[in-house]
Amino acid sequence: MQQESNKKIFLTALILALFFSFVVSLAAVLLKPIQQKNEELERNKNVLLAAGKNINNLDEEFKKIKIFYFDLKSKRVEIADDVSKYFKNFKKISENPQTSIKVEEGLEGFKSIPAKIPFYAFYENGNLDCIVLPIYGNGLWSTMYGFIAIEKDGNTIKGLTFYDQKETPGLGGEVDNPKWKSLWKSKKIFDKNGNLKIEVIKGNPDKNSENWQYQIDGLSGATMTTNGVNSFVRFWLSDKGFGYLLKYLNEHKELPIEKN
C-alpha cells in the first residue's frame, strides 16, 4: 500500500517536473524573437542617443540612416542590408576564422574581431551629418558594448553611449551617466599629424594645456572601468579598428564606398 502511494507521488512529481520544464522551454523559445526585437530597439535607441538625435522619433530618424560594413582588411565600405544578423551571431562571427581577423594586442581579452563591422551614417538633406561606430571591450567585470558618434570631419566626437555593460552601479556603471558621457562631446580624436590622441585621464584635464581637447576626466572610484574604456575606445579609433575610415573621411569628406 505504502509502496503504491510512493509510486504515485513519484509519478505525479515527474509529470509536474516534465510539464513545467516544457512550459519554461516553450516560453524561452517563444520569447526569443521578442527579446531579440527589444535588444535591437535598445541598440537603435543608443545609436540615436550617441548621435544626439531625438529618440522619440526612432522610426523617422532611422529613415535618415544608411548602414554600412567597414571591411577591416580591404579598408572599404559596403552597403549593409540587415545588420540584425550580425548582432545576433556576433560571438560566432567574431570567433570564426572565416569571418574574423586576429588581434595581437590592444583589445584586452579578445583574440579576434569581426572582419567586417557595421556602422551607421546619418544624412541631413542628402549630406553626411555624422557616423556612429560600434565599440566594445572589457571593463572591470564585464564586456561593455556601446557606440561612439563622430562628426563628418572624422575627428570630433559627437557622443558616446553604452547599451550593454555590467559594471558596478554607482561605480563603473557610471560610464552610462549622461553627465560623464557629455564630457566626450566635442573632444578631438587625432592631432593635426593624424596621431591618435584621445584619452581618458585621472583628474580634470588642464584647460590651458594643448592636450585639453583630447582628454576626458575618468570616473573617480572606477579607475579600472575607465582604464578599460580608454583602452578599447583607443583601439577602435586606431588603425586596427576604424582609424583608416576616420582619416579617409577627414581627407575626402565622404566615405570610401566601393563603387561597382
Ligand X SMILES: Cc1cc2nc3c(=O)[nH]c(=O)nc-3n(C[C@H](O)[C@H](O)[C@H](O)COP(=O)(O)O)c2cc1C
| Minimum gap (Å) between residue 176 Cβ and ligand X | 12
Question: Which ranges in 168-237 belong to alpha helices (H)?
Answer: 178-182, 223-237
| Minimum gap (Å) between residue 231 Cβ and ligand X | 13
Q: Select 172 or 256, whichever has its Cβ closest to ligand X.
A: 172
Q: Select 141 or 244, whichever has its Cβ closest to ligand X.
A: 141
Q: Select 161 or 230, whichever has its Cβ closest to ligand X.
A: 230
Distance CA(27)–CA(141), nearest Å, equals 30
| Minimum gap (Å) between residue 168 Cβ and ligand X | 3
Q: Select 84 or 223, whichever has its Cβ closest to ligand X.
A: 223
Distance CA(124)–CA(13), nearest Å, equals 63
**Burial classification of residue 98, based on how many CB atoms lie within 10 Å of its CB (0-12 exposed, 13-18 middle, 19 or more buried):** exposed
Q: For residue 64, what is its C-alpha cell?
A: 535618415
Residues that bind ligand X (CB under 6 A): 140-141, 167-168, 171-172, 220-225
Nearest residue to ligand X by CB is 172
| Minimum gap (Å) between residue 109 Cβ and ligand X | 15
DSSP letter assigned to residue 117: E
DSSP letter assigned to residue 188: B
Q: Select 103 or 140, whichever has its Cβ closest to ligand X.
A: 140
| Minimum gap (Å) between residue 223 Cβ and ligand X | 3
| Minimum gap (Å) between residue 232 Cβ and ligand X | 14
Distance CA(162)–CA(43), nearest Å, equals 9
Distance CA(86)–CA(122), nearest Å, equals 20
| Minimum gap (Å) between residue 147 Cβ and ligand X | 20
φ, ψ dihedrals at 204, nearest 5°:
-75, 130
Q: Select 52 or 221, whichever has its Cβ closest to ligand X.
A: 221
Distance CA(113)–CA(103), nearest Å, equals 7
Collapsing DSSP to helix, strand or coil, 46 comes out as helix
For the beta sheet containing 65-71, the strands, ordered from the edge strand earlier in sequence to the opposite edge, are: 77-79, 65-71, 116-124, 127-138, 143-151, 157-164
- Terminal Cα-to-Cα distance of the chain (whole angstroms): 83
Q: Select 132 or 144, whichever has its Cβ closest to ligand X.
A: 144
**Burial classification of residue 107, based on how many CB atoms lie within 10 Å of its CB (0-12 exposed, 13-18 middle, 19 or more buried):** buried
